[in-house]
Amino acid sequence: MPRKTQYNIITNPELIKQINPKNTQLMTDYIIYLKSVQRAEKTIESYRNDLEIFFCWCITNAKNKFFVDLTKRDIISFQNFLLYTNNNSPARVRRLKATLSSLSNYIENILDDEPEYKSFRNIIRKVENPINQTVREKTVFEDEDLQKLLDMLVEKKKYQQACLVALCMCSGRRKSELVRFKVDYFDDKNIIYGSLYKTPEKIKTKGRGKGKFLYAYTLIRGFKQYFDLWMTERESLGISSEWLFVSCRDNVYSQMSVESLNGYAETYSKMLEKEFYWHSLRHYFTTHLSKAGIPNNIIQEIVGWESADMCNIYIDTVTDTKLAEYFDENGIKQVGNATLSDL
């Protein structure tokens, strides 16, 4: 089964209408501010949802106070409610508090010249955060797991889905980025070093404002055979869309949506009897490069991170496996770095 998340059950349309009008206006002004500094649409929507959760909670638990009148005791009560009544993870609590802190910073920095906010201070950061703990086990896929999935998809003639899984395995791209790949990205002229496809244009990825754009790299080995199967089927179906992954409605093919990938993830979890989510393949890709001896700074460039420190988060190699690379019965081994063509 897919990973379970504790969803918001605090808000509803009726409660949102009861939010203190001053809080509603403050939230509206803050959202306008976020748009003016070009925060990403999804980020803005997340902030709005977080604030609605908090202000709805205030209706029944903090006398629907105006935000500037809240006390540290109120914030502690909210944090306690999230942890022990709403069963949110410490990470989720931290995220909600970060939104409240961001709103507080907006008041301090932007509204400080207005009499109503002149003496306001950010109290959110005064309340210690809960200890960050892992509340759900991360899925780590081995080569055999994913090969099994690919084999089953091919056997069922689900060539597009096999190509999709293979692309994620061999590029480490996020699910929102996978649907942005185009067919002509995988032309022979886009091969570099004989082992990588490099997109001829930058694709949109996660980032502040309108998002960050970067070139994407895909390992040819492990991907091309599934790409070829899908291209053969596309030709037989007469699909001419520029997008690599498509959906069909009323005999018209269009760019596949991220929602389709969410549905596939549920299916793959059942097929593998192991929790599948697309981001686990980003971990798999990073780990695959690391096991092959690719240095962290090169992995950083391939994946598109700003810091090589991200490798420590994404590489899923256990300590004993790491030690085996350098030690055997003869002592310390001589280890050399691999090249991309070895993958």
155 and 257 in one domain?
yes
Question: Once rounded to an integer, what is the mean pLDDT over residues 308-334?
Answer: 64
Domain count along the chain: 2
List CB contacts of 210: < 8 A, sequence separation 6 or more.
38, 40, 204
CATH, residue 34: 1.10.150
The more confident residue out of 24 and 293 is 24
Among 61-65, 188-192, 268-272, 329-333, the range scoring the smallest mean pLDDT is 329-333
Question: Which of residues 279, 296, 327 is at a domain's end?
Answer: 279
Q: Is residue 251 in a domain?
A: yes
Asked if pLDDT for residue 70 goes beyond 80, the answer is: yes
pTM of the predicted structure, to 2 decimals = 0.65
Q: Are residues 271 and 156 in the same domain?
A: yes
Q: How far is the C-alpha of 162 from the C-alpha of 101, rounded, in Å?
A: 43
pLDDT tens-digit profile of 106-139? 999 999 999 999 999 999 999 999 987 655 567 8
CB 71 within 8 A of CB 123: yes
Check pLDDT > 60 for residue 68: yes
Grouping H, G, I as helix, E, B as strand and the rest as coil, residue 191 is strand
| Domain assignment of residue 75, given as a range | 13-126
Residue 324: its pLDDT value, please?
Answer: 56
Q: How confident is the model at residue 307 (pLDDT cuts 50, 70, 90)?
A: confident
Contacts 24+ apart (CB under 8 A), 311-319: 311/286, 314/282, 314/283, 314/286, 314/287, 315/283, 315/286, 315/287, 315/290, 316/138, 316/140, 316/283, 316/284, 316/286, 316/287, 317/287, 317/290, 317/291
Same domain, 110 and 154: no
Cβ proximity of 81 and 102 under 8 Å = no
d(CA 188, CA 270): 36
